[in-house]
Amino acid sequence: MRARDPGEKHRVSTSLELLFDLCFVVAIGQASLGLRDAVTGGYYVAGVLHFAIVFFSVWWAWMNFTWFASAYDPDDIPYRLTVLVQITGSLILAAGVRRAFDGNDLSVITLGYVVMRIALAGLWLRAARADPVRRRTTLRFAVGVMACQAGWAGLLFVPDDMRLPGIAALVVAEVSVPVWAQSAGMTPWHPHHIAERYGLFTLIVLGESVASATAAVRTALDEGRGTGALCAVAAGGVLMVFAMWWLYFARPAHTLLASTHRAPGNRFLWAYGHYLIFASAAAVGAGLGVNAYQVVHRTDVSPEVAGAVVAVPAVVFLITVWALHLRPHRRSTGESVPFLCTAVLILLTIFTPVAALSTGILLAVLAVGTTTGARRLQDG
């Protein structure tokens, strides 16, 4: 398992990586549906908290494998089998999402997560054996990952009132492992490959938003009520997804990763900050589902709550994309103004009867304005 060349030409995602992403769709979809059902059932705080925890497990397992595969990917039989074990773990995790939301039962989701992470630790050990130059780094990854998994398994046996602090401590431990490991030396990741992998995962979560909203609108239409309001929700959802895609891919990420973001601070901020991008995009789908149920009176949530479940994640997505993807390319501080103003206006849509449609229009206007302004600067 030799390290890949970080300057390798035409480096793209492999079919195995695409299969890996595809199987993670199941877990993301379950997390989005769980958030929708929790909100429509009136469990706002518990629903958001469970969604944040479940999505962290999905995102963290995906991200760690992505960075590993960018550095080490021999594509031989042992490697493929180990990745397939990780995929199996993701399916086990997805099967446990409903238990986590409904009964606070984390046993199945923990099992799936531990399976994924232990398989990855095995790959780090294999890399340590094959790459003596980076042996300290790879061994630190393996030891850190295994120690965290022991913690997650032990957490199942602690009292319920101690579980949330334990989860918080283990999350901090998990995100600290790459920082600690790479302080001994950086793995040879590929900028263009990483940018492509993150872009593909963005498409996945946006696709889940469309699927979640479509399912909710279809269910509501079957009842034959609120057709006009449902059309507004559907139109707003389409505009939101289109605009979110447009804004995320407005500037190439690989140029940052190949230059300023090679520094550890910028790199970790960019990599970790994507949790907010991915989670908020998936939460938008849940919010659209809540809005569809609200307009046909399948839930008792108020219009303001339904509006907030769409507007707040849309604002989180907008601000995070701006901070991570677009701001580093800026030529003047004035470029931040349209994004901040749009974020404020989106929050105000909470108090309108068509929050989803209003949010979609505002994001679409911003996407058009950003593109037009960028072209004028280039022409100038």
Model-level pTM? 0.92
Angle between helices 227-248 and 264-295 (to 10 degrees): 170
Distances (CA, A) of 250 to 48, 72, 367: 29, 29, 9
pLDDT tens per residue across span 128-180: 999 999 999 999 999 999 999 999 999 999 988 888 999 999 999 999 999 99
Residue 253, pLDDT score? 84
Residue 62, pLDDT score? 95
Angle between helices 44-71 and 160-182 (to 10 degrees): 20
pLDDT tens per residue across span 58-86: 999 999 999 999 999 998 999 999 999 99
Alpha-carbon gap, residue 163 to 49, rounded angstroms? 13
What average pLDDT score do residues 204-219 get?
78
Using CA atoms of 30, 34, 37, 42 in order, give the dihedral in degrees to the nearest 10. -170
Residue 353, pLDDT score? 87
Q: By percentage, how much of the chain surpasses pLDDT 90? A: 64
Residues ≥6 apart with Cβ < 8 Å to 335? 326, 327, 373
Q: What is the DSSP letter of 300?
A: -
Would you place residue 227 in the very low, low, confident or very high pLDDT band (cuts 50, 70, 90)? confident
DSSP 173-212: HHHHHHHHHHTT------HHHHHHHHHHHHHHHHHHHHHH
Higher pLDDT, 262 or 55: 55
Residues ≥6 apart with Cβ < 8 Å to 106? 96, 99, 100, 155, 156, 163
pLDDT tens per residue across span 53-63: 999 999 999 99
Would you place residue 15 in the very low, low, confident or very high pLDDT band (cuts 50, 70, 90)? very high
Would you place residue 373 in the very low, low, confident or very high pLDDT band (cuts 50, 70, 90)? low
Residue 327, pLDDT score? 81
Residue 255, pLDDT score? 84
pLDDT tens per residue across span 93-127: 999 998 888 877 889 999 999 999 999 999 999 99
Residue 2, pLDDT score? 85
State the average pLDDT for the chain: 89
Residue 61, pLDDT score? 94
Higher pLDDT, 216 or 63: 63
For the chain, the 3-state helix, strand and coil shares in percent, each to the nearest 5, are 85, 0, 15
Residue 378, pLDDT score? 52
What average pLDDT score do residues 196-215 get?
86
